[in-house]
Amino acid sequence: MSEPIRVVVTGAAGQIAYSLLYMIAKGDVFGPNQPLILHLLDIPPMMGVLEGVVMELADCALPLLRGVVPTADPAEAFKGVVAAFLVGAMPRKQGMERKDLLSANVKIFKVQGEALDKHADKNVKVLVVGNPANTNALICSRFAPSIPRENFTAMTRLDQNRAQAQIAARVNVPVANVNNIVIWGNHSSTQFPDGSHGQVKMDSGKTVSVREAVGDDAWLRSIFVETVQKRGAAVINARKMSSAMSAAKAAGDHMKDWFHGTPAGQFVSMGVVSDGSYGTPKDVVFSFPVVIKNKKWEIVKNLQIDDFGRKMLDITGKELEEERGEALAIIGA
């Protein structure tokens, strides 16, 4: 067994963390041979609730969990961590867009960027879940100049998982048979879920393109896209609270792939600081298809983008530029 690693989850008393902590602590993310010490950050009024979470973690009797550090102090929370799940932020309510949360949430990510910069391991891998995730991740990276920008990512894996599930249901195959669906752009209702590069392993054992398996391009460009774009709002309308179990699963998937790599021939979607690939705006956190090896992601190049795709990428890129401007104004940068 290796030495324990330190992993922080912020918003640790909240609903996503309630599912996520168990997954991490039982080895689903960093592997069955990787012991860990969990750092749990929340705000002072939530320390009582957090105490209950700590009790439950102990009562799970999980062999890999070698320590728990509950705290309201970002310096203590980020000390020596090699992985950071930045979940703590206000969730949206019915009728809101995620960008309506900017004014409430973006300052949190400035403070946490500064704390990561001072206290975290310089190779720390940061996943921002708190909304609006892409722009929060950008702001966080700006305030952590000593940590490479490629170590800051935003979660669009939930959108990818949703998209795979929609295709699997439509074609009637298990979800694991659907691969290489891309989420482009913002984790918002302008995102572009793109099935046109995907593959499906059919019951016959033959692998075909998503377009061939679905056999309905109009569905792929309309109902499929809109269902994934609006899935978060649909969950909120039904639960009166935002997605939590599925968000935790996606956060685990994202970090697991970052640490362990993507399988040969497969890519996953992550919000990363854009280098302008595919004609997207630079210096926004844009979701791209990536492959991961040795804990480093790389944008998949040379996928064909047709006129419809071009229009969709431009819309979501423009929204990210607007959010960046708004966020910088809020924090006075």
Ligand X SMILES: NC(=O)c1ccc[n+]([C@@H]2O[C@H](COP(=O)([O-])OP(=O)(O)OC[C@H]3O[C@@H](n4cnc5c(N)ncnc54)[C@H](O)[C@@H]3O)[C@@H](O)[C@H]2O)c1
Q: Which residues are catalytic?
A: 187
Q: How far apart are CA 173 and CA 208, in angstroms?
A: 12
Could you please report the per-residue DSSP string of 108-126?
HHHHHHHHHHHHS-TT-EE
105 is known to lie in a ligand binding site: yes
Sites of contact with ligand LMR (CB under 6 A): 91-92, 98, 131, 158, 232-233, 235-236, 242-243
Binding segment for ligand X (CB under 6 A), chosen from 9-17, 53-61, 200-208, 210-218, is 9-17
129 is known to lie in a ligand binding site: yes
* Residue 244 touches which member of ligand LMR, ligand X, none, C-beta under 5-8 Å by kind: ligand X
Count interface residues toward ligand X (CB under 6 A): 28
- Binds ligand X (CB under 6 A): choice among 21, 83, 87, 313: 87
Cβ distance 161 to 253 under 8 Å? yes
Task: Please state the closest distance from residue 238 (CB atom) to ligand LMR, in A.
Answer: 11
Which residue type, as a one-letter code, is found at position 275? D
Among 70, 232, 82, 260, residue whose Cα is nearest residue 155: 232
- Beta strand 178-179 pairing with 182-184: unpaired
Task: Please state the closest distance from residue 12 (CB atom) to ligand LMR, in A.
Answer: 18
Which pair of tokens denotes residue 158?
């939930």
Q: How far apart are CA 8 and CA 27, in angstroms?
A: 15
208 is known to lie in a ligand binding site: no
Cβ distance 236 to 92 under 8 Å? yes
Examine residue 316 and tell whether it contacts ligand X (CB under 6 A): no
Which pair of tokens denotes residue 53?
């979470």
162 is known to lie in a ligand binding site: yes
- Binds ligand X (CB under 6 A): choice among 89, 200, 228, 291: 89
Q: How far apart are CA 47 and CA 72, in angstroms?
A: 7
- Binds ligand X (CB under 6 A): choice among 6, 39, 92, 197: 92
- Binds ligand X (CB under 6 A): choice among 8, 21, 46, 183: 46
Q: How many degrees, rounded to 5, is the angle at CA 238 between CA 184 and CA 16?
A: 60
Task: Please state the closest distance from residue 115 (CB atom) to ligand LMR, in A.
Answer: 24
DSSP E strands, 137-206: 152-154, 178-179, 182-184, 192-194, 199-201
Binding mask 195-234 for ligand X (x = CB under 6 A): ----------------------------------------
Interface residues with ligand X (CB under 6 A) are 10-11, 13-16, 41-43, 46, 87-92, 108, 129-131, 133, 155, 158, 187, 242-244, 247
Please give the annotated binding residues for substrate, written as ranges: 92, 98, 131, 162
